[in-house]
Structure 1
Amino acid sequence: MKQQKILFIGDSITASGKREDPEKIGVSYVRIIHDYLLTTYPEKVYNIVNKGISGNRITDLAARWQKDVIEHNPDYLSISIGINDVWRQLDRPEIEQITVEKFEQVYKELLTKVKEHTNAHIIIMEPTVIEEKLQAPGNQLLKEYVKVVNDMSKQFEATLVPTHQAFVKYLEGNKGYNLTTDGVHMNSAGNMLMATTWLKAVEEQLK
C-alpha cells in the first residue's frame, strides 16, 4: 500500500512538543491531524513528518529547505510561517528584520524550488495571531504578511488554509476563552482550531 508523506514545516507553533515525543510529531495541530487521519482512514497509510523548529522565520526555512523539504520529497508540503517574522519586529527590534518585501521574495523562492524539484502538492497556512486582540500592533503588522501568503497560494496554485481568518472570526465572537498561552503559542483549543481549519481545506485531497 502506497503511503502518502505529509510534511509540515514551520516554527514553534508547528514544532510544539516534538523533541519530547518518541514519534517526533509533538502536541501541536500536527498531532491532531495525524490522529484524525489515522483513525478516520485506517485503510490508508499517512507518513506525517514534523519539521517545525522554534523561533524560525522565513529565512531560517530557506537555510534548511534543501535538507528538510526537497530531500524528503513529500507528497504534500504544509507550510506555516510568518509569526516570528512579525513578532521579532516588536520584541527584538535591534536585530535584522524580515520586511514584508523580503518575506514575499524568500517565500516565492522556496515555493519555486518545490515546484522545480518535487511533485509535492503545496499547502500554505496563514499566520495565526500575535495577541488575542485584533487591534494589537502585532496583528496590524501581520495583515500584510497574511496578504503575501494569500497571493502566494494563488500564484503557485497551492491550497490555502485560512488560519488567520479562522482566528479573527473566533476573536470577533469575543468568547473570553483564550486560544493561546501567551498571545502566540497555542493551547489545546488553539491547536484544535488550526487542525480543523487545515482539515476543512485539505481533507478531500487526501481521501
Structure 2
Amino acid sequence: MRVLLPLFVGVATTLVALCTTITASHAEEKPKLLRDVKTIVTLGDSITQAGADPGGYVWRMQHYLDALYPNEIKIINSGISGHKSTDMSSRFQRDVLDHKPDLVTISVGVNDVWHGFYENHPEGDGPSGVAIDLYRQKVTGMVEAAQAQGIRVVILTATVIHEDLENKENAKVRTYNQALREIARSHKCEFVNLFGACEKAIRAYRSVGGNAENLLTSDGVHMNPAGNQLMAHVILRGLGISEKSLDSVKSAVKR
C-alpha cells in the first residue's frame, strides 16, 4: 500500500483546486483578497500550531507567499493545542486583534466536536465538547470583532476526525461546518471548505488504492506531509491565488 502513497499525493494535489468555494483569477498579479495585505494571523488549534513547523501548512503558506510576493506578507501563527471556539474567543483580542492584521484565517471546530466524544460519550454529547449553539455564538463574535476593525476574515472548515468519513465524529463535523458556511454567508466573509478537500482526496485515493489509513493525517486528526500540502494549497487558492501561480513557485516550497 505504501507504494501507492506518491500516487495519492499527486491525486490530492490535482484535486485541491476543485475544493474551494472561491474562484481565483489566473492572472499573476496579487489577487483582490490579498491586495494591501501585509500581515495575516492564522488562528486555530494544534493543527495550526503544528502548521508552523517546517513542512506544516502555515510554513508552506508562508513559503508560497514569500516566493510569489517577496517581503510583502508576514504570517503570525496563533494556533494553540487543544483549543476550541470558547478558548479562541477568550484570547481573540490578544492573539489576533492586538497584532493588527489585515487578514485572519479562523480554523475552529475539530476540538469542539472531538472532545465531546471523550469520557465514554459515543454520541459526542460529552461535557468537554462545545454545543453547536455556543460554537456558533463564539465564532460569530470573533468574525464580528475582526470585521469591526476592518480585518478581512477567512473561515476554514474543520478537517476530518479520523479518516473514516462515515463515522459519528465526521457526521457531527459536517453539521458544525454547515454552521460555519452560514456564518460566512451572513457576514460576507470568505469560506474555504477544507473538509470537502480532505473528503475528495481520501475518496479519490481509496477508489484506486483501497481502504488505507492515515492518508492525510498522522493519527487520524493531525496532518502528515500530504495533509499539510493539501491544506496550504486549498487555503491559498481560497485566498485567490491561481493554480498557475502556485505551480510556478512549487519548487520553493518542497520539503
Counterpart residue type for residue 98 of structure 1 = V
> Distance between the aligned counterparts of 2:118 and 2:79, measured in 1?
21
> Distance between the aligned counterparts of 2:192 and 2:143, measured in 1?
16
Q: Could you tell me how far 1:95 is from its partner in structure 2?
A: 3.4
Residue of structure 2 in register with 1:37 after alignment: 65
Q: Which has the higher contact order (CA 8 A, sep 6+)?
A: 2
Residue of structure 2 in register with 1:111 after alignment: 143
1:1-207 equivalent positions in 2, closer than 5 A = 4-16=38-50, 18=52, 27-42=55-70, 44-92=71-119, 93=121, 95-116=127-148, 118-173=149-204, 174=206, 175=209, 176=212, 178-204=215-241
Counterpart residue type for residue 143 of structure 2 = L
Q: TM-score, normalised by structure 1?
A: 0.88
> Distance between the aligned counterparts of 2:143 and 2:233, measured in 1?
24
Contact 1:133 1:171 in 2 (8 A): no
Deviations 1:87-145 (A, max 9, x none): 101124553431111110111111111122x1111011010100101111110111110
Counterpart residue type for residue 155 of structure 1 = S
Deviations 1:182-207 (A, max 9, x none): 110000100011111101110349x9
Q: Could you tell me how far 1:67 is from its partner in structure 2?
A: 0.7
- Between the two proteins, the alignment pairs up a number of residues equal to 197
Unaligned runs of 5+ in 2: 1-35, 246-255
Contact 1:70 1:114 in 2 (8 A): yes
Counterpart residue type for residue 54 of structure 1 = S
Report which of the two has the higher share of strand: 1
Contact 1:16 1:27 in 2 (8 A): no
Residue 40 of structure 2: SS of its match in structure 1? strand
Counterpart residue type for residue 75 of structure 2 = I
> Distance between the aligned counterparts of 1:126 and 1:17, measured in 2?
16
Counterpart residue type for residue 13 of structure 1 = I
Q: Structure 1 residues 152-161 or 92-101, which shifts more?
A: 92-101
Identity %: 32
Q: Could you tell me how far 1:84 is from its partner in structure 2?
A: 0.3
1:160–1:144 Cα change, 3 Å: same
Contact 1:166 1:197 in 2 (8 A): yes
